Structure 1
Amino acid sequence: MLNLKILLLSRKFEIHSSRRLVEEAVSRGHNVLLWDPEWPLQRLKIKPDIIIPRISSFQFSEAVKVLEALENQGSFSINPSQNYTIARNKWLTYQILKESDIATPLSYLISKEHDKYPLTFPFILKQLESSKGEGVFLIEKAEEISRIFEKTGDTHLLLQEFYPEAFGTDVRAFVIDGKIHAAMKRTAKPGEFRSNLALGGTAEPTELSPEESELVLKTTRTLGLQVSGVDLLRTRKGSLVLEANPCPGLEGIEKYSKKNLANHIIQYAEELYGQHKTSR
């Protein structure tokens, strides 16, 4: 049995997904070190065999620099820092998906200087690096846009087409190593258009069509993500890819799918380590 030194790049053990990964790694005989990205790397006295990054929006750029530094020292990450960075940026993701002919909502990058908009109201406005439904706004009047720029302090925001037929619902597919392990349909709480579970939404297991499955897997291949949560919107234009989250939460998807996804992630970490060790 392998006995890996796994570094979990996460702010704290109390985060549900981090705790689950530690539990499953320990159950499989591994040593796990949880490392807060804010800690100076000079204090890290071991070279990890594999890194599992759990980097959210909080101080994202600083945390990615830590991941890059660890990679430069010869450690492997289940999601490489370069691909992680692209997937966390909604505008970069949109450009890559469009170039790869992957169906996704029509989007534009706007600055606070814009006073004309290429989509009719209502539309969606998003911060470029937000998660859990935060930084996502349904815009019905032009004057709301300047207030959001003032509120967020951002210089650019993503303007995205709105599909009323999908109001308050979407689909999350959980992918590990090129395989879809679980999928759930999320539904927003009454009066809310964002379906995120962190905002009070609920979920139920769902089946993906063959076309949706291929769309999800093409997205992860294109973005170079080995572990991700791909969000789909079912619209009059067919299913569209909203985003691919390189740091997908485990609590909701494990609860509703009844699958041990944390264990599958650890198994993939073992396989990735074995591949790199063999290639050296």
Structure 2
Amino acid sequence: MKLAILSRNTKLYSTRRLVEAARERGHSVRVLDPLRCYMRIASDGFEMHYKGREISGYHAVIPRIGASVTRYGSAVLRQFELMDTYTPNTSDAILRARDKLRSHQLLAAESIGLPATVFGDNPDDTADLLSMLGPPPHVIKLNEGTQGAGVMLTEKLSASKGVIEALRGLYANFLVQEFVAEAKGADLRCFVVGGRVVAAMKRQAPKGDFRSNLHRGGTAKGVRASAAEQEVAVRAARVLGLGVAGVDLIRSVRGPLVLEVNASPGLEGIEEASGVDVAGEIIEHVAGQLKLGTGRRTATRR
């Protein structure tokens, strides 16, 4: 298999592990910076160059596209798709997952459990908007934030209104959610590959914080997700069209609730906590799809 990995940094743990796993299995692999890929788009075909040379003939591409380059990175990935290159996470699926409002709407439409969420634009509607959600505490999230950045907890109604007013003044897009107290600052990251949970870890927020992200000082340990949690994680990834996803759940009295579905989940935390070769699972899934003939396809032209 001739494999490309879209990543801006070859030294990142996740990128290095994917390269190692691919080479250990005898595949040819190259890391491409998506911002150095440029494209020709015409009715007679699609062409892509990288650092002055044409690139073609890749059987598969694994996207590791950061949030800061979502728009351009997804365009590059779409060009690969149009050039008949398989990817476990399509450009459209990544865009769905990166937009928290859109992904929540899609998941809720399939009756997947979520914390109650409200969204509005006009300042005149703030009081009624919060009444739709219920009393504080409230969790306020930037619509496209990552790694716990742009996530705030407000414990009083006046604080919720103040934060919302400030964010609107910055023209930021955000959601407001119920705070699920029984989770006690913990969540569950289920790593889904090819329609199954291959590894899971429980993350715990540091003292004085409610965000369990490892980048925010949270701790993690490997766990076995329950059958119900695995089912929810797999369904959430499938609804968004992701073959590889990190699905974050919280345990509530209502059952597992989806906090977020990450289209480019990091491998370091999950591999260290679980002891599972997650990079290898991803490579084997991609190679298996190609072997079955389900990977090679002509992308739909829209």
Instruction: Please give the TM-score of this superposition, normalised by the length of structure 1.
Output: 0.92
Counterpart Cα distance in 2 of 1:250 and 1:52: 13
Written as runs of structure 1 = structure 2, the 5 A alignment for 1:1-280 is 4-41=1-38, 42-44=48-50, 45-47=54-56, 48-111=58-121, 113=123, 114-116=125-127, 117=130, 118-119=132-133, 120-140=135-155, 141=159, 142-150=161-169, 153-154=171-172, 156-276=173-293
Deviations 1:67-106 (A, max 9, x none): 1111112111111111121112111111111110111111
Counterpart Cα distance in 2 of 1:14 and 1:261: 18
Counterpart Cα distance in 1 of 2:247 and 2:5: 22
CA 1:144/1:22 → structure 2, altered by over 3 Å: closer, same or farther?
same
Counterpart Cα distance in 1 of 2:218 and 2:295: 44
Moved over 4 A (4+): 277-280
- Give, in angstroms, the shift of residue 261 of structure 1: 0.5
Counterpart Cα distance in 2 of 1:277 and 1:253: 28
Deviations 1:204-250 (A, max 9, x none): 12222222221112212222211111111112222111121111110
Query: Greater CA deviation, 85-94 or 254-263?
Result: 85-94
- Give, in angstroms, the shift of residue 139 of structure 1: 2.2
Structure 1: any 5+ residue segments left out of the alignment?
none
CA 1:279/1:36 → structure 2, altered by over 3 Å: closer, same or farther?
closer
Structure 2: any 5+ residue segments left out of the alignment?
39-47, 298-302
Counterpart Cα distance in 1 of 2:289 and 2:20: 19
- Structure 2 residue identity aligned to 1:208: A
Q: Percent identity?
A: 37
Counterpart Cα distance in 2 of 1:111 and 1:200: 33
Counterpart Cα distance in 2 of 1:51 and 1:188: 34
Counterpart Cα distance in 1 of 2:49 and 2:296: 29
Counterpart Cα distance in 1 of 2:21 and 2:225: 27
Counterpart Cα distance in 1 of 2:242 and 2:296: 20
- Give, in angstroms, the shift of residue 275 of structure 1: 2.9
The SS at the match of 1:7 is: strand
Counterpart Cα distance in 1 of 2:59 and 2:85: 6
Instruction: Please give the TM-score of this superposition, normalised by the length of structure 2.
Output: 0.86
Counterpart Cα distance in 2 of 1:46 and 1:38: 14
Q: How many residues are treated as equivalent by the alignment?
A: 275
The SS at the match of 2:264 is: coil
What's the Cα RMSD here?
1.8
- Give, in angstroms, the shift of residue 176 of structure 1: 0.7
Conserved 8 A contact 1:7-1:32: yes
Counterpart Cα distance in 2 of 1:278 and 1:242: 29
